[in-house]
Homo-oligomer: A and B are copies of this chain.
């Protein structure tokens, strides 16, 4: 406003001679008339200014009858405890029409169509509701609406009001409560946001689907798309979207169901060390740590430790924890740190005991997720549309040679013992989906040459091994196998692939004092979430993702 005013005001002391439109000077009469008109204008403006000032003074002196109903609370240092019950935003629904409600939430958006009303959308967790603050005698003053209207997005407020059924479903795509809103009577700031603090993007914008953003481009209100890097650079803000709130509750659901299934079968949960004395498994892709005067290495998986737990007679074990990969892979499905869901089981007769357990575990997961997380899945799909995840009652299991045959018939060239490329995995996923109507399948009997040294060879054909991968929507989410549990065979295999036995002495020696035959697998938690929800990038399934270029926040 200051800029505009300066331009329309005539700078003092530089008064120019006025001229007629044809360029001739004004007559004295003309000058007198002009001066009189100017004087009249000045007097009018002076009067208006005086009225304005009187009004302001009056307003300032006016007792604000609502002053107890709004304002900024002091910084919460636990000064007092009233023990009042706070509601969840879920309670804002038509069936609670007329019910008083009291809760804390963030301001997502604010709109002031007239000085008499403020429309807010209030968000917490994966709920977002519409709220109205309207001037009302003895309750909501004009000072109060004016104050509320200037609160920036992301301000945390404590509000009091009444749930109110709405006649017509609320249209906004980012509001989750469609059939009711809140009529506000009190509003206090719990945690303020300075209007001067730049907001890299608005949570409301960050909640929209690509399709909605795309469609808005041809309207008079085009919506901004928020690039993933800007989101991740400001992850705390980004995580506040109802979509992200739902994604991480579903992520929690996946590990919870994994755990529930195993706990019901008497598995023991392990916490094995991430700091290792030697770079094991494979020499490459291990992070090195300065360890006092020496070095340590970060575990690439709990593989060796969970096998040692089997050699130590724990029988059925699992671990949920971080795994580290020092691979310079900058792809949508790789991270340098992710969450492994690992398990290992002593078998009695055959590794298919474990393969079946794993298949049943995933069946359980795919059965329970849509039941227990229906609301969360629906919220994620508003931003990331995906088809229902297809799983038949009977889990599909193929053997590697069958997959090679299917791929060759589909025009892919590959050797009998070649590993699948990412592209071939996708093609295979499509072929299996067409043939068996499933987005999930198990692939058994991988070639020995493309599996780690500790993989048990097939008893009949040593070119194949007792190993398997699981796939979701055509991408690998789990790898597993029967392991070599005999120290001599293990040493022989290590020799064949040039791994010095000395570096893994304790591991090999552990087997020398007897070890039950065993099999297991490792699941990438974020991959399961990513493919289940069709998020397109694994970083969206990790709260604070790490990749070769990202170590913060």
Contact = CB atoms under 8 A, between A and B. Distances in A.
A236 interface: yes
Given A124-B313, A312-B236, A516-B190, A553 B506 contact: yes
A252 B123 CA distance: 37
B466 A292 contact: no
A285 to B, nearest CB: 11
Contacts of A486: 75, 191
Nearest to A292: B548
Interface residues of A, number: 111
Task: Tell me which of A106, A191, A305 has the highest count of chain B C-beta atoms within 10 A of its own C-beta.
Answer: A191
Which 5 pairs between the two chains have the least Cβ-Cβ distance? A506-B553, A277-B551, A239-B312, A76-B517, A77-B459
B84 A513 contact: no
Q: Name the residue among A77, A155, A314, A553 with the largest chain B CB count within 10 angstroms.
A: A77
A171 B101 CA distance: 67
Given A239-B309, A244-B312, A248-B270, 9 more contacts: A77-B466, A78-B349, A78-B351, A78-B459, A154-B513, A156-B516, A275-B287, A275-B551, A292-B326
> In this complex, which of A82, A270, A457, A517 has the most chain B Cβ atoms within 10 angstroms of its Cβ?
A517
A237 B324 contact: no
Contact of A544 (B272, B313, B348, B551): B272
Contacts of A154: 513-514
A549 to B, nearest CB: 9
B273 A544 contact: yes
A298 interface: yes
A422 interface: no
A104 B289 contact: no
Interface string A264-308: 000011111111111000000001111110001010000001001
A261 B166 CA distance: 38
Interface string A148-191: 00000011100000000000000000000000000000000011
Contacts of A199: 513
Contacts of A132: none
Interface in A1-28: none
A527 interface: no
Interface string A536-553: 000000111110100111
A240 B313 contact: yes
A312 to B, nearest CB: 4
A506 B236 CA distance: 9
B277 A312 contact: no
A491 interface: no
A515 interface: yes
A350 interface: yes
Contacts of A485: 76, 191
A436 interface: no
A366 to B, nearest CB: 20
A492 to B, nearest CB: 12
A553 B511 CA distance: 13
Interface string A477-513: 0000010011001000000000000000011011011
Nearest to A346: B104
A485 B78 CA distance: 12
